Amino acid sequence: MHAYEFILLLNSFVYAAAITHILSVAGEIIIASKRVRVSWFNAGWMCAALLFSCAWWIGLWDLHTVDVWSVGSIAFYFLLAAGIYLNARLVSPRIPEKGDIDLRAFHADEGRKYLIAYTILSVVTIITNAGLGQGGRAVQWPAQNMVIVPMTIATGVAAIFIRRPSLQAAAVAIQNPGLDLVLRQTPVCAVRLAMIRGAAAEGALMQHEGQRISGDEVRGSTVYTRAMSPWNSSM
């Protein structure tokens, strides 16, 4: 097993736990919807945390060319994954089995915690992108900072002014399209999209070839029948 594969496997457990927790809480909110006072701000930040986790998990593909991993780099990426998991825990409210649930109050009381955590993770992401770009190991990562920097500033402002609905709405509006753009810029996504398109084109070509061969077989059978018909009539 290559060193990259071993490290990716280790971190994948953490990223999978973060994503699973967010989706699990989202399911619990839907089940208890009659008792829940929904906060669209909290829902938006849950979605942002989910996309952020996916972006980092998929983005680790760019490190597959790294041959030598130091203990420090292994610890760094593991701690980053752990921070992303903690952010997923902070942004996801607990859903009790009984009683009313006010997620707007949850966001007002606890929102600053997960917004600060999200801001710190974004700052670390910016520094990491810049560093790896200079090292030539992930050339496209610095370009992603053009999207991540405004997202980070918006998150920091939202953490400071947690009770300003207009600022909260603007910050959430910036996060999710920005993360979607980052995911689209990830090379592994582009490669998989190209593979899907290539498979579709190959399938269409095979279908076309099959139709052509089938037509040739029909024409050949007709010619053969015509050629044999005089012999059959003579019999």
pTM > 0.75:
no
Instruction: Give pLDDT, residue 150.
Output: 86
Residue 68 CB partners (closer than 8 Å, separation 6+): 3
Q: How far out from the chain centre does Cα 215 lie?
A: 45
Average pLDDT, consecutive stretches of 10 residues, N- to C-terminus, the chain (235 residues): 79 94 95 92 92 88 79 90 96 92 94 95 88 60 76 91 88 75 53 42 52 52 44 42
Cβ contact 138:11 at 8 Å: no
**187-234 and 165-185 are packed helices; what angle lies between their axes, rounded to 10 degrees?**
50
**By three-state DSSP, how is residue 179 classified?**
helix
If one counts every other C-beta atom within 10 angstroms of the C-beta of residue 30, the result is 10
Instruction: Give pLDDT, residue 18.
Output: 95
Within the chain, how many helices (H) and strands (E) appear?
Answer: 7, 2
Instruction: Give pLDDT, residue 229.
Output: 43
Structure tokens at 133: 């770009």
Instruction: Give pLDDT, residue 55.
Output: 87
Instruction: Give pLDDT, residue 61.
Output: 81
Residue 9 CB partners (closer than 8 Å, separation 6+): none
